[in-house]
Structure 1
Amino acid sequence: MQRDPVTQELVKNALATVADNMVVTVVRTARSQVVKQSMDFSTAICDAKGQMVTQGLSLPVHLGAIMPALEGVLKVYGNDVHPDDIFINNDPYEGASHLPDIFLFKPVFAGDVLLGYLTVIAHHTDIGGRVAGGNACDNTEIYQEGLRIPPLKLFDRGVPNHTLFRLIQQNVRVPDKVMGDLWAQIAAVYGADREMLKLAQEHGVEDLRGYMDELIEYTERITRAEIAALPQGEAEFTDYIDDDGIDPDPIRIHVRLTVKGDEVYADFTGTSPQCKGSINPNFAFTQSGVYAAVRCLLSPELPNNAGYFRPIKVYAPEGTYVNPVHPAPVAARGLGGFRVMQTVFGALAQLNPDRIPACWGSGELGISIAGYDRERKPFVFLEFHNVTGTGGGPDQDGVDGGPIPVLNLANTPIELMEAEQPFLVEEYGFVPDSGGSGKYRGSLGVTRQYRILADEATVQVRSDRRRFLPYGIGAGKPGTPCTIHLNPDTENRLLPTKWLLELKKGDVVRAELAGGGGYGDSFERDPEAVAQDVREEKLTPDYARREYGVAIVHGTQDVDWEETKRLRLR
């Protein structure tokens, strides 16, 4: 049947609106900071076959995570799908991502016809397990990481599974936040169900299904055309993770990226074996990282759906770091997934040197602070530092304090953190001289300092980029390392990149995140731009002289042009 292109566009935008409205519902009704403020969640609509049709404006890195989790549900339930069912899944070995990410899928029916599945995935503050927050790097098997929920029915034909609800509630440390976020997910899919039925009434059930199919086919055609227009060829790149928090050896991530015709191939042969600790990304998350990285080269108007995935092929040998096998722990897999993206970007930069920036900074810091307040009420604080800036690019500096690529997470206001948990944030700012030098410098690293106010608190940190720094491109220098100190004004103890400690009231944790890599030769940077960075206290005069060959006049902070000319002679 020939589809009307005008109606096709209207349906495309209407479906995107339904997915975005789920985002709004979650933000307005969720209870935890990691969901309602940081927005660590995603929404999507899948068709009756489980193919993603559209994704809400939330996390790009969840691009490839939704379909495998739904596939895990459909493998178990097959045709046992009915109106007002809601399925739940968080098992990484049943298609989900890691245990804190709980997937909900609600089938939407128009009469007896299954239109598709409404999806909300949310990162929950706690999922039980041996360490609050569910991101401890020193877990050695998935059984330590928390409550493992295989594909199950949370609602069966509209009837809530009270046993499952109670099981979840009794296994988490902060049930008000976890159950509140779970009900926010439920509210979102129910609201989207009503909107989908309105679309079915407006366009007709079969036509709506047809337009959903065509949207996927259209996306595949456009994706293939855009890939075919990219520079063709093969590139290899290797990046490293410092360690897994247990074994001191670095973890090698190697990719051979091939752009051939209208397809992209990413082969991770040569990557290290899966590690002992919990920073392994499962294969679905590895795929997501590749999809998200390649997506940055294509048109922003391109829909995010199953059609986009088809021309991108990902291979990772089983048992390697990027495709671990059961019972490997994966709770802190975000670090590995982000490094997969940085590795793919490194390969893409060889084929597209005028479009790909240097590596972003941050060190992928995640921190959880948990314990009991004065009233013996449990608290769990969870934060991922992803608003930390970007690497220098072909025509501009890295964005200081901006969101890193492939994520869309927001900054949590400090006032809200301090209002809900017993700690103070004593400092939050930029680290001078931390961005990698280059014609276009990398973003500055960010510092954050926490003071514990509870009598006792368990603090767990996941970080990296101390030994293997955020890479520059061309002659650009790497960013500075990520460092974490305990009680910097007294003992000033340098902590490892991944750790778990019991702290006391008054203890201070100071994190200085890695700066972004630089792009191009630093001696080609405009001296006036260097002077402006000095005026804004982003660079010190000594650093400007050493790294950029720019002399700054003391007092006026203007460029000393004669001295600069002498310094830049090579």
Structure 2
Amino acid sequence: GVAEGQMRIDGYDRPIDLCVKVRIEKDRIVTDWEGTSGLDKKGINVPLVYTKAYACYALKCAIAPEIPNNAASLAPFEITAPVNSIVNAVHPAPVALRHVIGHMVPDTVYDALDKLLPGLAPAQGAGCLCNFQVSLRPRMDAPAPDDAVRAEVLTFNSGGSGARATLDGMSATAFPSGVMTMPVEATEQVGPVVIWRKELRADSGGAGQYRGGLGQYMSVGAREGHEFDIQAMFDRVDHPALGCRGGGNGAPTTIARGDGTPMKGKGKQFVPHGGRVDMAFPGGAGYGEPQERAREAVRRDLALGYITPGFAIEHYGMTQEDIDAVLAQAKRGEEF
């Protein structure tokens, strides 16, 4: 059969539309990216080989995960895209941040595949990595201490992955890249950066029969005597992960100064001495109707702090009596 998948994501200066048509034939699967947005002047364009890699990866994960990758096992997957679309960039198009778009390819393929093979593909997740680079230097608005230094610190972070047809999504776990989140202790050793907060983000996973994976909170600043620029490389600010088969959307990305002043999801931005940047990374979307979620799973989420009482009432229909009982049980240290 044939089915179409779409995804709209933030892009840089304008939204980007990814459009794919998946066609399952007797001896091959064709994915055609006709209708996808054109090139961008920023370096988020994707070479066709990168698009092929992630489209094939999505299909292999879904229908043939046990078969090793080699020329023969990959031969049935055919990927086409218009030249100078954002998923088929040719020289001299800038491509340094290709992952920002390229990592959204699998979930777009899955949007189409779910219409052909229900119950196989997951809901949308955070997609691209939630990376940021901090360029630190001695403060320039006043004398800096003698031990102030210049440093560049790049951190790799993840939002939540989408719920699957039979399992909850994974929290703060990258898909499709598989890149691990960096420990706070390691990050703070490579430069005068301070991670003030790093924790799972309650209510960020989309509600559903199976819940989306949680995103995470991060708050970053600099040691005394430093100012910095932060280079944000985020998506899902304006276009969060969409739920599948009645599941709820994941929470969007937010970024702001410590005083609440909003910041941009992409680009270099200055943070003065004593300032912080507060970030909330996106959650994965839910799969299936929330009313179908097992009551014990909802109770466990509440006890563990994955959802708040308000979320449990709004999305899962829990009563205040139920909530009070769960919280009392959790306070006693009883397992769920």
One fold, TM greater than 0.5? yes
Q: Distance in 2 between matches of 1:291 and 1:409?
A: 18
Tell me what 2:117 maps to.
Answer: 352
Tell me what 1:330 maps to.
Answer: 95
- Kept in 1: contact 2:156–2:181 (CA 8 A): no
Q: Distance in 1 between matches of 2:248 and 2:310?
A: 17
Residue 449 of structure 1: how far off its partner (Å): 0.9
Q: Distance in 2 between matches of 1:319 and 1:254?
A: 14
Q: Which of 426, 429, 432 is the matching residue for 2:202?
A: 432
1:292–1:363 CA distance, 2 compared to 1 (3 A):
closer
Deviations 1:418-447 (A, max 9, x none): 111111111111111111111111111111
Q: Which of 455, 460, 484 is the matching residue for 2:231?
A: 460
The runs of 5 or more residues in structure 2 that have no matched partner are 139-145, 329-336
Residue 384 of structure 1: how far off its partner (Å): 2.5
- Calculate the TM-score normalised by the size of structure 2: 0.89
Q: Distance in 1 between matches of 2:24 and 2:200?
A: 38
Q: Which of 161, 180, 192 is the matching residue for 1:410?
A: 180
Which amino acid in the other structure matches residue 500 of structure 1?
K
Tell me what 2:289 maps to.
Answer: 521
Q: Which of 257, 265, 268 is the matching residue for 1:500?
A: 268
Tell me what 1:98 maps to.
Answer: none
Tell me what 2:3 maps to.
Answer: 235
Q: Distance in 2 between matches of 1:521 and 1:360?
A: 17
1:545–1:358 CA distance, 2 compared to 1 (3 A):
same
- Calculate the TM-score normalised by the size of structure 1: 0.54
Tell me what 1:556 maps to.
Answer: 325
- Kept in 1: contact 2:236–2:282 (CA 8 A): yes
- Kept in 2: contact 1:483–1:512 (CA 8 A): yes
- Kept in 2: contact 1:367–1:384 (CA 8 A): yes
- Kept in 1: contact 2:136–2:192 (CA 8 A): no
SS of residue in 2 equivalent to 1:531: helix
Q: Which of 321, 332, 341 is the matching residue for 2:86?
A: 321
Residue 499 of structure 1: how far off its partner (Å): 2.3
1:558–1:525 CA distance, 2 compared to 1 (3 A):
farther
Residue 473 of structure 1: how far off its partner (Å): 0.8
State whether structure 2 residue 142 is matched by structure 1 residue 367: no
1:300–1:268 CA distance, 2 compared to 1 (3 A):
closer
Q: Distance in 1 between matches of 2:155 and 2:48?
A: 24
SS of residue in 1 equivalent to 2:132: strand
Q: Distance in 1 between matches of 2:222 and 2:45?
A: 30
Residue 465 of structure 1: how far off its partner (Å): 0.9
Tell me what 2:60 maps to.
Answer: 295
Q: Distance in 1 between matches of 2:288 and 2:299?
A: 18
Which amino acid in the other structure matches residue 292 of structure 1?
Y
- Kept in 2: contact 1:362–1:514 (CA 8 A): no
Residues 144-159 of structure 1 aligned to structure 2 (within 5 Å): none
Q: Percent identity?
A: 31
Residue 363 of structure 1: how far off its partner (Å): 5.7
Residues 70-469 of structure 1 aligned to structure 2 (within 5 Å): 233-244=1-12, 247=13, 249-361=14-126, 364-372=129-137, 378-386=150-158, 388-401=159-172, 403-453=173-223, 455-469=226-240
Tell me what 1:72 maps to.
Answer: none
Q: Distance in 1 between matches of 2:81 and 2:167?
A: 34
1:348–1:407 CA distance, 2 compared to 1 (3 A):
same
Tell me what 2:142 maps to.
Answer: none
The runs of 5 or more residues in structure 1 that have no matched partner are 1-232, 560-570
Residue 310 of structure 1: how far off its partner (Å): 1.6
The structure in which a higher percent of residues are helix is 1
1:236–1:464 CA distance, 2 compared to 1 (3 A):
same
Q: Distance in 2 between matches of 1:499 and 1:405?
A: 23
1:558–1:506 CA distance, 2 compared to 1 (3 A):
closer
Which has the larger displacement, 375-384 or 537-546? 375-384
Residues 28-107 of structure 1 aligned to structure 2 (within 5 Å): none
Residue 477 of structure 1: how far off its partner (Å): 1.1
Residue 271 of structure 1: how far off its partner (Å): 0.7
Which amino acid in the other structure matches residue 266 of structure 1?
T
Residue 408 of structure 1: how far off its partner (Å): 2.5
State whether structure 2 residue 281 is matched by structure 1 residue 482: no
Q: Distance in 2 between matches of 1:420 and 1:360?
A: 30
SS of residue in 1 equivalent to 2:62: coil
SS of residue in 1 equivalent to 2:252: coil
Tell me what 2:332 maps to.
Answer: none
From the CA coordinates, give the structure whose radius of gyration is larger: 1
Q: Distance in 1 between matches of 2:75 and 2:124?
A: 27
Residue 306 of structure 1: how far off its partner (Å): 2.6
- Kept in 2: contact 1:361–1:443 (CA 8 A): no
The RMSD of aligned alpha carbons is: 2.0
Residue 475 of structure 1: how far off its partner (Å): 0.5
Q: Distance in 2 between matches of 1:362 and 1:304?
A: 23
Q: Distance in 2 between matches of 1:299 and 1:318?
A: 29
- Kept in 2: contact 1:235–1:347 (CA 8 A): yes
Q: Point out which structure has higher relative CO (alpha carbons under 8 A, 6+ apart).
A: 2
SS of residue in 2 equivalent to 1:429: strand
State whether structure 2 residue 280 is matched by structure 1 residue 512: yes
SS of residue in 1 equivalent to 2:326: coil
Which amino acid in the other structure matches residue 445 of structure 1?
G
